[in-house]
Amino acid sequence: MVMLPVERVVRYNLRERLVHAAAGISYVYLLLTGLAFWTPALYWLAIVLGGGYLSRMLHPWAGLVFSAVLLVMWASWRRDMKTTPADKEWRKHIVDYMTNKDEKVPPVGRFNYGQKQFFWLMVIAMWALVISGGVLWFVSSVPAGFAWLRDAAILVHSISALATIGLFIVHLYMGIAVVPGGLSAIVRGEVTREWARQHHSLWKTRP
Amino acid sequence: MSLEIVRSSASSSPAPGVRVEPQLVKLVDTSTCIGCKACEVACQEWNDLPPEPTTNSTNSYQTMPATTASFWNLIKFNEHEEDAGSLHWLMRKDQCMHCSEPGCLIACPAPGAIVQYANGIVDFQQDNCIGCGYCITGCPFDIPKFNTGTKRVYKCTLCVDRVSVGLQPACVKACPTSCLQFGTKEAMLEIAEKRVTQLKANGFAQAAVYDPPGVGGTGVVTVLAFGDRPELYGLPKDPVVPAAVRFWKGPLKWFGNVAMLGGIAVAAVHFMRYGRKEGHD
């Protein structure tokens, strides 16, 4: 029997994959060291990563890397991430999507509405984190008269970090466990034409 | 006298201390302070702290504008005109207040970097400090100071090394007017109340003891002639651990932990119920 060659299309080019990997690695470092500072029960994470002192020293720099990478990502994906009329139709069927009744889900382009929301919420949270994080980086230089600024920074930083953790759990779960081919697409960059038709039928793939 | 720890920062287990000891307290009677600064010198000498340059930016006798990472005891000089023509020179000892509920310790994320001993002394353990500065956020008295060289935080230890061997703090030892005294909280409050009564008889009707309940009382109690207005001395009127710090280390932490574990649990249950989408890899 002759196997027909499977036709593959490029979903993420190498540049997009590298940018995504840089965002992922810096985020995971920020997540682990941040969790170490969040609760004593997870302080061992900082120990494993070289100690609390080193973690405190590198966390802000990793934050700058993450923010810079996210800006690059924003520049290259922001047009693809705009909500379209097709997304509004998709949104009405989000429960069908979540319960895997994919035959009822309307067609979408390169990214679906959920992916777009994830992208924008991460960008917004990044700004909240980098601004509040800047205050916390130099918290000892904030004059006592501006105590409200320190207090606000602590709350904004922890609440927006928690928000990204919620998003991150969904993102990992969807990409690795739920959508077949999701992980290999972001690592190797290619999907089959069948995959593209099934998940993103309005996406204009190039051969 | 022991240095048993009754509270330790960022600890996932309760502190081991079981011994019951009286709280040891420094009494500062601002009405008998003559501003000689012997306590400042004694503090620098006993603690072997490097000399700090005097800066006259305050336009007064005050040594420098605020305490620093290597200057833990500063007499603050404030001038106050109560009635026209009656000038009061208010001197106050600025240092760590050794709160019974220390905001610094509550805010600290590094295990064992801030401890409270059974005798009430709040002490920084710089070897465990990670230099995040959250203690600065937790302190209502603006006391912990960051050393940019070591990137760690320092403050008055209440001479814990002297106290633990039965000596009084160096500043108390050096004070020539007995404006500074050291002993159990009970004994110090008794002396303080007696002094307040004297001050009231001398025309300072508002005289009071400063032992703010918002931080559970302090290990440094201060007699103020104008006790109704501690701000005149540069002391906060009703210091508390900042509400943001309380919220962050209390409800928000619980909510966050439950939400994170809940998120993972929901994903797992979703996978068991709905599983992987059908289709092509």
Q: Given CB atoms, is A187 within the 8 Å cutoff of chain B?
A: no
What pLDDT score does A161 carry?
A: 98
Across the 207 residues of chain A, what is the mean pLDDT of every consecutive 10-residue run?
A: 77 96 98 97 97 98 98 96 95 95 92 96 98 97 94 98 98 95 93 89 74
Work out the percent of chain B whose per-residue pLDDT is above 90: 88
pLDDT of residue B51: 87
Using an 8 Å CB-CB cutoff, list chain B residues near A159: 252
Tens digits of per-residue pLDDT, B60-119? 899 999 999 999 999 999 999 988 888 999 999 999 999 999 999 999 999 999 999 999
pLDDT band, very low/low/confident/very high, at B16 (cuts 50, 70, 90): confident
- Residue B56: per-residue pLDDT: 78
Rounded to a whole number of angstroms, the distance from the CA of A173 to the nearest CA of chain B is 7
Report the candidate in B275, B216, B280, B267 with the shortest Cα–Cα distance to residue A178: B275
Q: Do B132 and A151 count as a contact with CB atoms less than 8 A apart?
A: no
Chain B touched by A195 (CB under 8 Å): yes
**Helix intervals (H) in chain B:** 38-46, 103-107, 134-138, 160-163, 170-174, 185-201, 243-249, 251-274
Q: Does B260 touch chain A (CB under 8 A)?
A: yes
Please check whether residue B237 touches A, CB under 8 A: no
Flag whether residue A194 sits within 8 Å of chain B, measured between CB atoms.
yes
A52 contacts chain B (CB < 8 A): yes
Is a pLDDT exceeding 90 seen at residue B54?
no
- Mean model confidence pLDDT for chain B: 95
Whole-number pLDDT of residue A28: 98
Query: What was the ipTM of the complex prediction?
Result: 0.92
pLDDT of B158 strictly over 70: yes
The DSSP code for A206 is -
- Tell me whether residues A173 and B267 touch, CB distance under 8 A: yes
What was the pLDDT predicted at B57? 75
- Tell me the shortest Cα–Cα distance from A114 to chain B, in angstroms: 15
Q: Which residue of B has its CA nearest to A103?
A: B278
Predicted local confidence at residue A30, as pLDDT = 98
The residue in chain A having the minimum alpha-carbon distance to the alpha carbon of residue B11 is: A40
Q: Which chain B residues are within 8 Å of A199, Cβ to Cβ? A: 279
Q: What is the pLDDT of residue A7?
A: 86
